[in-house]
Structures are given as structure tokens and as C-alpha cells.
Amino acid sequence: MIRAMTSLIPLISLFIFPWQVALVAIFAASLMVPPAGLAFGLIADLVYYSPGVAFVPYFTLFGIFSFVLSLLVHRFVKTRIMEG
Amino acid sequence: MPWLGPVALALLVLVLIFAVLRFLLPGVLVAVASPLWSVGSSLSVAAGNVGSFFTDKAVLTNERDRLLADNAAYYAKNAQLDAKVKDLERLLGGRTEPIDGILAGVLSRPPVSPYDVLIVNAGSNARVSVGSRADGPGGMPLGEVESVTKNSARILLYSTPGKETESWIGEERIPVTLIGEGSGAMSAVVAREAGIAIGDLVFASGPGALPVGSVIAVGNDPSSPRSRVDIRPLLNPFSVTWVTITP
């Protein structure tokens, strides 16, 4: 539950903090909840993107990147006790 | 991860809500987001002053910031008047009538807003229409209205990445195409023989000579017949709090 609530921080940061901070928050949320990166990337472009402002919606692209990367991390990196 | 399914579903619903708001109810989206943008603006101001909060220089800092903002506005206004006088002296200036503008407060600006987009609190109810020009303090053009709802409008700054704007540059009013580079920056490509120098003003094309920026760097590649010119806006879009929209 805490993880899910924490993943909502990017939603607030999209409206309050500079977009660079929002990007970091989106990436951090994505590492915890992989779909969050994609969702908040889409939401950022739904709020701010307008036709003609860029060739591609950068936040959506970043969201896809975060989503894929975090999926890979969750797939291949597992916590374990290190053995000496 | 048993929680992943419900969380993903909740995120999907959230995205759908924003999609509906953006495409079907854009006015509601701005109304909902306005309080958050206000908080963001307040935080930006507070963050700007945090260094001077614990010292007795806070008053001086505020005064200096106000004077810098006034100076930028007066500089823009002075450049505009100077250009107008020169045009009249050369008998090239046109007769222009004063036009009433619509004053609009800025709800969201860079850097909170990516893509160099301003969202303002005046819309079609205030006679704002798509394509209208938005001017900052001092009458300096900032950009054009891209879309309008009843009570809000989106303004694309001239520095919006990839946005092309016809303009003039330098004393000789050489026509160039301004290209937005993001974060307030612009660029253009001119012939090397044009004689563009650092400090030359860039003007929005149209009636009058309204300055939008100044040249801060001129490329000097001897192998190319053209030079890239880097342009900085006269008014910092990160600190603009209101605009005048000319219908």
C-alpha cells in the first residue's frame, strides 16, 4: 500500500515542481511499480503536450523507457543474502 | 507481486480520466490543476528566496528581483521604441493604431511546464482566439495562442522546440526563420555575409518592430556559407506572471 501511495508522488510533482524533478519522480516510481512510469509519462503529455511543440511526446517516450527498464530490473535482479 | 494487478488497473483508470479531461473537458482539467499550479508558483518563489531567508538581505533581494524584472520590461520597451524611431526616421515605419489587449494571468510556465508552453487563465469568454499573439511586460511578444477553452488558453512560446517563426534580425531587418530550441532559447541560420553581431536584436515580423530576443552567439565556421545564430529572449519565460493577448 505504501509502495502504491508513494508511486503517486509523480502526479503531484507534475504540477508543482520543474519537469526535470517530475522526470526523476516518474523514474523512481517506475522502479517501484513498473506501470507507473508509463502511466505518469502519458499523463504528463496529456496535460502539457500540444500539437507542434515537439516531434514526439518526450514524456511518453520516457515513460515507456522507464517501464521497460524497470521490468528488466524486476525480472533479473532479485534480493538475496550475500554469501561470503 | 499480487498488488501489481490492482495498482496497474488504478493507474490505467487514472490515465483514462486524464485523457477524458484533456480531450473532452479541457476546461475542467485546467480548473482542477490551477490550485496545484498556484502552489508550484508559490514554491518557486519561496525556493528562490530560501537562500536569503535567514539573512537580513531578504528585503534587498526582493527589491533587486523587482528591479531586475522592471529593468527587463523597460529594456524591452526601450528597444521597441528605439526601433520604431529608427523606422520612422527611415520613413519605413507604418502607422499603427493602439490595440486593446486581454490581460491574462499565467497558470503554468516553464520549467514546471515542459515544451515551453504557457497556460493562462483567459479563454474564449474573454475573446481570446487561436493564433492571437501573447505579449509579456513591455509589449514584448512571447508566443501565439495554440488552443482555447472557455476560461483558459495554451500559448506556445517562440522558443517551443521545433517551432518556426518568421522574424527580422539586426539593424537591417534581415528576414530569418526563428527556430525554438526549448527552455527559452531560439536559433536561426543566416548568411555569413549578413553581418550579424552579438547583441543584435531580433524582431517579430509584422506591424511595428517588436523585439523578441537578442543575439548571444554567432557561429563562425569558415567552411559554411551560413552561420548559426543563438538567440536569448529579452524576457525570461520562467518568471513571466501575466501576458497581454492581442486578438
Residue of chain B with shortest Cα separation from A19: B112
CATH number, span B102-246: 2.40.10.340
Segment B121-170, tens digit of pLDDT: 998 998 899 989 998 887 888 899 999 988 899 999 998 888 888 899 98
- The pLDDT of residue A61 is 94
> A83 CA to chain B: closest CA distance, Å?
26
Least confident of A10-19, A34-43, B2-11, B215-224: B2-11
Instruction: Out of B12, B37, B146, name the one closest to residue A50 (CB).
Output: B146
Q: Which residues contact B166 (CB under 8 A, 6 or more apart)?
A: B175, B176, B177, B178, B205
Instruction: Out of A12, A43, A52, name the one closest to residue B146 (CB).
Output: A52
**Using a CB-CB distance cutoff of 8 angstroms, which residues of chain A are in contact with residue B36?**
12, 15-16
Structure confidence at residue A32 as a pLDDT band (50, 70, 90): confident
Phi, psi angle pair for B144, to nearest 5°:
-130, 150
Answer yes or no: are the C-beta atoms of A14 and A40 closer than 8 Å.
Answer: yes
Q: Using a CB–CB cutoff of 8 Å, tell me whether A35 touches chain B.
A: yes
Residue A27 has pLDDT above 60, yes or no: yes
Q: Which residues contact B43 (CB under 8 A, 6 or more apart)?
A: A16, A17
**Using a CB-CB distance cutoff of 8 angstroms, which residues of chain A are in contact with residue B239?**
none
Q: Do A53 and B162 touch (CB under 8 A)?
A: yes
Segment B71-86, tens digit of pLDDT: 888 888 888 888 877 7
Segment B41-82, tens digit of pLDDT: 887 777 656 655 555 677 788 888 888 888 888 888 888 888
Report yes or no for ipTM above 0.90. Answer: no
**Cα separations (Å) of A37 from A50, A72, B12?**
20, 13, 12
Rounded to a whole number of angstroms, the distance between the first and last alpha carbons of chain B is 55
Structure confidence at residue A43 as a pLDDT band (50, 70, 90): very high
pTM higher than the cut 0.90: no
Q: Cα separation of B146 and B158, whole Å? A: 12
> B6 CA to chain A: closest CA distance, Å?
10
- The pLDDT of residue B230 is 93
Structure confidence at residue B101 as a pLDDT band (50, 70, 90): confident
Structure confidence at residue A26 as a pLDDT band (50, 70, 90): very high
- The pLDDT of residue B50 is 62
In the numeric block, the cell 502539457 is attached to A48
Which residues are registered as beta bridge partners of B245? B102, B134
Segment B85-99, tens digit of pLDDT: 777 777 555 555 556
- The pLDDT of residue B49 is 62
Q: What percent of chain B has pLDDT over 70?
A: 89
Instruction: Out of A20, A38, A53, name the one closest to residue B156 (CB).
Output: A53
Q: Where are the domains of chain B?
A: 1-97, 102-246
Residue of chain A with shortest Cα separation from B158: A53
Q: Cα separation of A35 and B224, whole Å? A: 48
